[in-house]
Structure 1
């Protein structure tokens, strides 16, 4: 009897211990398709940087929430002057950077002044162009004065490019990022993974996870077995063509949400013959969006006709402006003096939407007489050759930055597009706070871009998330380029 009781007690204890171990799991391996070029969100355009560090390691005065809303972050509150030009931010106190240094208003001034400085390397320097001055009122109060009212100012401060960094560590953040977030950087195994661990002195609500490894899985074919084996528990941005192998498996959740990723056939507008409107229009008529969406996003992308997310209140459907029409495309090329067609290059970065979509688009353009040489490039090459040096004819990329239609007004942007009328609309939008007026201006801007056929507007990139069914807290949608794991936890 005594032996039986001992065995029973041992079994109960083992079961309880096993249950506790399962319930107490606090580690996560999260798969990402692209390795960031470095780890400083304030010094690079690559979305992969924010997808590891935004909200997790680095924080801003404000942050963008899972539904695209503006939330307080390092600023606990703010007031706005009657003329809309002076923002006074009250900061959280007792906040420390991960190296133990104190956060205060001086760090805010340093970060904003650094981002807008003449020698700034910030990829979104335009976000800070409206700032006239940044003044420290006291350690917990900072006053930002704008040159003119800016309706999107608080939203702009929530971008990854606007996170707050410390002067002591700003120069080394590319390799050893130091922020104020609930996770701190532990290790970067180049080509393999980036590991974050829970910060012990976080000022806000602590994270549930103790450790998170962002594992780089660039090959879509490797993602499915990594998930099925349990080596990786979550892919917030899963390749759409792998969904069929996961759907129906009760161990996983498949969540299809929206993004801010306008997927474009980008065109170098100053390079002949693309400097001719009729040539760009011919390209737009040659594109069969349905075939591209089916092949490049497993049919999950939403067609777009200009640069605005269909999830936006300001979105207008302009997909009918250039319906698929091979005859019309050939007619326009003839009018442009290119009846016999021409040759061009198509540089394709690594994502499957680009590589798969590029093959389809090359076939479609070949049908109207445009013979494309496909040139695969890695992200570092794309950023250098296409984005920076504008050395390209055509390329395919998703612009995942939120509410970024103003990029077409930038004089040195890689589209090489300039339209004074469009620039005036954006200039007025920038100083307008009234929502109804802003929506009307955004609609005008979309129409101008469509009329000018600046790029080939393809589709809004879907956010396909696949993760262990026991996980909660991962974002369904992607209003900003981020893998926010601050609320992620394992459930029984």
Structure 2
């Protein structure tokens, strides 16, 4: 199946959470009512009137600094703050990107007005559009240079991984030409080198304002930026509008001249309990509730005041088998385990009509019709034959899971896997880790036999997904998978522009990943958004964020 409408689903449990008892939940509810001007009826009219949009998330980060990534709350707020050089041009796609995933050839400028690549591809000359921060400072190339230098010097994880591993930026990538012109230098060009700059941590900071607050002990102004957005995007706020870990109120940047919609105020409230977030939405005390359980999404579908949007996503839930294990490292064993998994029954049992079973080793969201050799099958007898061929019987393995990643459904999936694999003689013992920190530590240390995880690509592109975990060149390949032919094919995907040649390489990579399994994918997740009716012009970017500043009434 080619590109299809999957679903606009909030990412699995955030990497950072805070607990909130009844008092905290009631306080958040009161805040939502106050921010929206009253009870249920008034919130509905407030959303439709384009005045205030209240965004209920699991919790707020303790810092607004793009150098401090604290899981989904950071990315939810970061993408809304905007002000990156490039964005996804979803307005040109069917249903504005809901049914078709935006790709690297759909990039448009955000702060970048125009750009030109050199003949050898290693230099991109960018001209900035005229933009002014809420503090009244004009955007300049020095802001860009300072922002990149800051990310590099502070060794910020995802941006540096994107620049060094996904793309191949020079060590000092930004060269200023004049106030509105600069160059991006790469050691080698790639299809991804501009697409990575859509990631929220690359938002350009108002260096003129931040530098007023630097000290010898804080040369990058982290204390100031942690409390101040310092952006050239559509929103601004006073320092008092941010209550660390609790709430953030954003108002329109009066100096923002790019196109925007009708929402004048965006209020983020932190409510750790998903049922409480769903209740705020259903009663009209929130405009949007992120990260709900699928049962709650299913119930909200019956509420005529709620629009439950489902759109295409490249997010996937994989089973990770440690290739360093003397038994699980065998291709025959890994293929047998994949064959023994009934992916459709897992999705049918767990997701209440949302999400899709993984059909192939490469996500169908990318629109590449995968060959049969790359597709998953359910064949218990073939699985038994492969295990016998590998000389394996009475295999026992421990499966690590966490409700934080991939999400609260992890236990249900694990129990179903336990039952299915028992039919081929594999005994699965389930070990639950409560927090995202624990599951991520186990994964990054490679200290597991089997693990249920989540693959949410920061940049939705076949190369990024193929490289991210399964390439032996990736820092995130902690499970020991090595396939030199796969590495070579994936590297070519990264340097080939979208088209038939690139699609052929993606298909070959998919065949190799199925024949010599790395990650064994189980579920293709959807992006799911539950939002009050009355607003239109949603831009369905491949990162799954809302972009409230584009919303229009009616």
Same fold (TM over 0.5): yes
Q: What residue is the counterpart of 2:402 in the other structure?
A: 348
Deviations 1:162-214 (A, max 9, x none): 33235536634455443221123564555544443332333433553232223
Decide whether aligned partners of structure 1 residues 175 and 309 sit closer, same or farther in structure 2, where only a CA change above 3 A counts.
farther
**Partner Cα separation in structure 1 for residue 70 and residue 368 of structure 2:** 25
Whether the aligned pair in 2 keeps the contact of 1:38 and 1:175 (CA below 8 Å) is yes
Q: What residue is the counterpart of 2:421 in the other structure?
A: 365
Q: What residue is the counterpart of 2:216 in the other structure?
A: none
Deviations 1:302-336 (A, max 9, x none): 23244533232335265974422333334433444
The 10-residue stretch of structure 1 (35-44 or 179-188) with the greater mean CA deviation from structure 2: 35-44
Decide whether aligned partners of structure 1 residues 434 and 331 sit closer, same or farther in structure 2, where only a CA change above 3 A counts.
closer
**Partner Cα separation in structure 1 for residue 242 and residue 485 of structure 2:** 46
SS state at 1:213 partner: strand
Q: What residue is the counterpart of 1:179 in the other structure?
A: 231
Q: What residue is the counterpart of 2:545 in the other structure?
A: 482
**Partner Cα separation in structure 2 for residue 400 and residue 257 of structure 1:** 16
Match of residue 487, structure 2, among 423, 433, 452? 423
**Partner Cα separation in structure 2 for residue 110 and residue 317 of structure 1:** 46
Of structures 1 and 2, the larger Rg is shown by 1
Whether the aligned pair in 1 keeps the contact of 2:61 and 2:244 (CA below 8 Å) is no
Decide whether aligned partners of structure 1 residues 275 and 440 sit closer, same or farther in structure 2, where only a CA change above 3 A counts.
same
Decide whether aligned partners of structure 1 residues 342 and 431 sit closer, same or farther in structure 2, where only a CA change above 3 A counts.
same
Whether the aligned pair in 1 keeps the contact of 2:535 and 2:551 (CA below 8 Å) is yes
Decide whether aligned partners of structure 1 residues 32 and 359 sit closer, same or farther in structure 2, where only a CA change above 3 A counts.
farther
Match of residue 165, structure 1, among 191, 205, 209? 205
Q: What residue is the counterpart of 2:529 in the other structure?
A: 465
Whether the aligned pair in 1 keeps the contact of 2:374 and 2:507 (CA below 8 Å) is no
Tell me by how many angstroms 1:468 deviates.
1.4
TM-score, L = length of structure 1: 0.84
Bigger relative contact order, structure 1 or 2 (CA pairs below 8 A, ≥6 apart): 2
SS state at 1:147 partner: strand
Deviations 1:399-439 (A, max 9, x none): 24311222122342134322221221122222223622222
Following superposition of structure 1 onto structure 2, how do residues 222-241 of structure 1 map, counting pairs within 5 Å?
A: 222-235=276-289, 238-241=292-295
Following superposition of structure 1 onto structure 2, how do residues 24-43 of structure 1 map, counting pairs within 5 Å?
A: 24-33=49-58, 39-43=64-68
Matched, 1:389 2:450: no
**Partner Cα separation in structure 2 for residue 36 and residue 265 of structure 1:** 29
Decide whether aligned partners of structure 1 residues 341 and 309 sit closer, same or farther in structure 2, where only a CA change above 3 A counts.
closer
Q: What residue is the counterpart of 2:186 in the other structure?
A: 146
State how many pairs are aligned: 470
Whether the aligned pair in 1 keeps the contact of 2:47 and 2:534 (CA below 8 Å) is no
Whether the aligned pair in 2 keeps the contact of 1:37 and 1:380 (CA below 8 Å) is no
Q: What residue is the counterpart of 2:162 in the other structure?
A: 127
SS state at 2:492 partner: helix
Decide whether aligned partners of structure 1 residues 377 and 174 sit closer, same or farther in structure 2, where only a CA change above 3 A counts.
farther
**Partner Cα separation in structure 2 for residue 440 and residue 312 of structure 1:** 13
Tell me by how many angstroms 1:121 deviates.
2.5
**Partner Cα separation in structure 2 for residue 193 and residue 292 of structure 1:** 37
Q: What residue is the counterpart of 2:40 in the other structure?
A: none
Q: What residue is the counterpart of 1:10 in the other structure?
A: none
Q: What residue is the counterpart of 2:32 in the other structure?
A: none
Match of residue 314, structure 1, among 363, 368, 389? 368
Decide whether aligned partners of structure 1 residues 226 and 341 sit closer, same or farther in structure 2, where only a CA change above 3 A counts.
same
Following superposition of structure 1 onto structure 2, how do residues 329-344 of structure 1 map, counting pairs within 5 Å?
A: 329-344=383-398
Decide whether aligned partners of structure 1 residues 418 and 44 sit closer, same or farther in structure 2, where only a CA change above 3 A counts.
farther
How big is the alpha-carbon RMSD for the aligned residues of Structure 1 and Structure 2?
3.2
Segments of 5+ residues of structure 1 without an aligned counterpart are 1-18
**Partner Cα separation in structure 1 for residue 372 and residue 147 of structure 2:** 39
Q: What residue is the counterpart of 2:112 in the other structure?
A: 75
**Partner Cα separation in structure 1 for residue 314 and residue 351 of structure 2:** 15
Decide whether aligned partners of structure 1 residues 320 and 122 sit closer, same or farther in structure 2, where only a CA change above 3 A counts.
closer
The 10-residue stretch of structure 1 (197-206 or 422-431) with the greater mean CA deviation from structure 2: 197-206
Q: What residue is the counterpart of 2:41 in the other structure?
A: none
TM-score, L = length of structure 2: 0.75
Matched, 1:375 2:400: no
Q: What residue is the counterpart of 1:4 in the other structure?
A: none
